[in-house]
Amino acid sequence: MAEAVVLLGLWVSPFAQRCRIALAEKGVAYEYKEEYKEEDWTNKSPLLLQSNPVHKKVPVLIHDGKPVCESLIIVQYIDEVWSDGAPLLPADPYARAQTRFWGDFVDKKIYECGTRLWKLKGEAQQEAKKELIVILKLLEAELGDKKYFGGDAFGYVDITLAPFIAWFYTYETCAGLSVEAEVPKLAAWGRRCMERESVAKTLYDPLKVYEFVCQLKKKYGIE
């Protein structure tokens, strides 16, 4: 019997998108279930609540009935289970540790800082903008002249960061910054990622993401 792979996600979620990119890279067929309820988290599906009883968040990968939670853990799980596809993490323990370090850096920094950047105004927003530029410059330095973060092959750190390519326009528009001017090599990396089917088919139009953020701002009364 074919194995059953289900992903509980939310279209705009960079966390769910990481899992979708990893599944596409490995060529895994799966059923996608959208949890989108207009950001109304009071109405989560029983399957989500039962699959992720601790955090009650998407994404959740359900593999043959067994749930796996947290996007980066899911991406590592995908790499280990579908190991016949091109590896997402290197084999060498030190290189693996470094790869996880940068994945963790992206995970801790971008979403949090980016959210402050679009939610806040005035000085606090300018502070978030400065912080985001520092974060992006650190990532650009780590990328260096490589094609992808791991070298020639697209992998774990790329997958961790790639969903935010579709958020750059929102960050730029909300806080008046230019990713191209600040971090041209990282901007070029983003364009290279978008040439991959796994990324291009997963990410949404940056304008749609911006529109979504504008709706949220209206909802929260922070326009």
CA 175 distance to own-chain centroid = 21
CA 177 distance to own-chain centroid = 21
Among 143, 117, 139, CA closest to 128: 117
Among 5, 6, 7, 13, binds ligand GS8 (CB under 6 A): 13
Q: Is 156 in the site for ligand GS8 (CB under 6 A)?
A: no
Instruction: Spell out the alpha helix ranges (H) of 45-178.
Output: 46-51, 71-81, 93-119, 122-143, 156-161, 168-175
Nearer to ligand GS8, 72 or 157 (CB): 72
Q: How far apart are CA 185 and CA 144, in angstroms?
A: 8
- 54, two tokens: 């601790």
Choose the binding region for ligand GS8 from 52-60, 133-141, 168-176, 201-209 (rule: CB under 6 A): 52-60
- Is residue 146 within 8 A of residue 189, CB to CB? The reply is no
Choose the binding region for ligand GS8 from 66-74, 180-188, 196-204, 213-221 (rule: CB under 6 A): 66-74
Among 15, 154, 168, 210, binds ligand GS8 (CB under 6 A): 15
Question: Based on C-alpha coordinates, what's the Rg of the chain?
Answer: 17
Q: Is 172 in the site for ligand GS8 (CB under 6 A)?
A: no
The dihedrals phi and psi of 9, each to the nearest 5 degrees, come to -145, -170
Nearer to ligand GS8, 70 or 140 (CB): 70
Nearer to ligand GS8, 24 or 58 (CB): 58
Among 17, 51, 71, 202, binds ligand GS8 (CB under 6 A): 71
For residue 77, the one-letter residue type is: Y
User: Least CB distance from residue 107 to ligand GS8, whole Å?
Assistant: 6
Q: Is 56 in the site for ligand GS8 (CB under 6 A)?
A: yes
- Is residue 165 within 8 A of residue 115, CB to CB? The reply is no
Among 59, 114, 155, 190, binds ligand GS8 (CB under 6 A): 59
- 102, two tokens: 């940068």
Q: Is 58 in the site for ligand GS8 (CB under 6 A)?
A: yes
Residue ranges binding ligand GS8 (CB under 6 A): 10, 13, 15, 41, 56-59, 70-72
